[in-house]
Amino acid sequence: MTQHTNPWAEGWPYPFWIAHRGAGKLAPENTLAAFREGASRGFVMFECDATLSADGEAYLLHDATLERTTNGQGVAVEHPWSVLAQLDAGGWHSPIYTGEPLLRLATLAAWLQANGCTVNLEIKPGPGDAVRCGEVVANEAARLWLGAAVPPLLSSFEVDSLRAAQSAQPDLPRALLLDSWIDNGLALARDLGCVALVVNHTHLDAQRIAAIHAEGLKALTYTVNDSDRAQALSAAGLDGLITDRVDLFGAAAREQVR
C-alpha cells in the first residue's frame, strides 16, 4: 500500500477545541454574533457552514431551506444575495438578536483574521449545487486567506464538493466528514487528498482513531457536548473536537496552546 503523505501531519496548526457554528446554541448559529460569543468564551477555532446564493455569493447557512434560521422562505440556493442579505437571521433565536444578518464569508474571514482565529469551513451545497459550491468556496477561501499563517480547513460530507475544492485549490487542507463509519472511508479520504477525517463521535473510539492516524490523517469529531465523552476521546488521541458547549468547555479552550 502506498503511504499517504499528510503535509500537515507535523505542526498541525489547528487547536483541539472547536466551536460549532460559531457558538453553538448561545447565539444564532453561523452569524457574526455567534462567533463573537464563542470568542468571548475563549475559543480560537470555529466550525461553520459555507454555501452559495443563486448568483454565487459565499455565505453561511446550514440548512438547504431558509425557514428554520431566518425569516425567509424556500430553497436558499434559489435566491440571489440581494434578497438573502435582507433577511433576519437572528430573531428566531431570541429577540436580542433580531436583525442579525446572514454572514458573508468575506466578512467572516476579515473578522477571524483580525482576531487571530482559525476556522473549519464545511462546504454545504444547496440541492444540485455540490460542484459549483465546492469550487467557489475553495477559490474564495484561497483569496480571502491569501498569505494567512493558517488557512481554513475545508470539509464536507459531499464527495463532489471536496473533489471540486481539490481541483480548484489543491493546496488548501481538506477533511472528509462522515456521519457513520464506512469501510472505505479512509481510502476515500486518501483519494480526495484529505489531511483529516471528521467522524460523528458516536462512531469513533480509540481503535478507529488509531486507524485514522495509521493512514497519516488527523482525527476530528463532532458534536461532543459531554465532559466525560470529551475526556475519553482526548485520551484516545483525538486531534480536534467540535462542540456546541462553548460555556462548558470555555476554560479548557482558554488553556490550550494557540
CA angle 56, 62, 64 (to 5 degrees): 70
* pLDDT, tens only, 105-147: 999 999 999 999 999 999 999 999 999 999 999 999 999 999 9
pLDDT at residue 11, rounded to an integer: 81
Parse the chain into domains and list their residue ranges. Answer: 17-255
| Mean predicted lDDT score pLDDT of the chain | 95
Kindly state the percentage of the chain with pLDDT values over 70: 95
Residue 141 has, within 13 A of its CA and on its CB side, a CA count of 32
Q: Which amino acid is at 255?
A: E
Has 203 been annotated as catalytic? no
CA dist., res. 63 & res. 77, Å (int) = 10
Q: Which segments of the chain are extended strands (E)?
A: 17-20, 45-52, 58-60, 118-123, 153-156, 174-178, 196-200, 218-222, 240-243
Q: Among residues 20, 79, 93, 201, which one is catalytic?
A: 20
C-beta of residue 240 within 8 angstroms of C-beta of residue 248: no
pLDDT surpasses 50 at 258: no
Judge whether residue 175 has pLDDT over 80: yes
- pLDDT score, position 257: 46
- The answer, yes or no, to whether residue 93 has pLDDT greater than 60, is yes
What single-letter DSSP state applies at residue 165?
H
Q: Does domain 17-255 have CATH number 3.20.20.190?
A: yes
**Catalytic site includes residue 201:** no
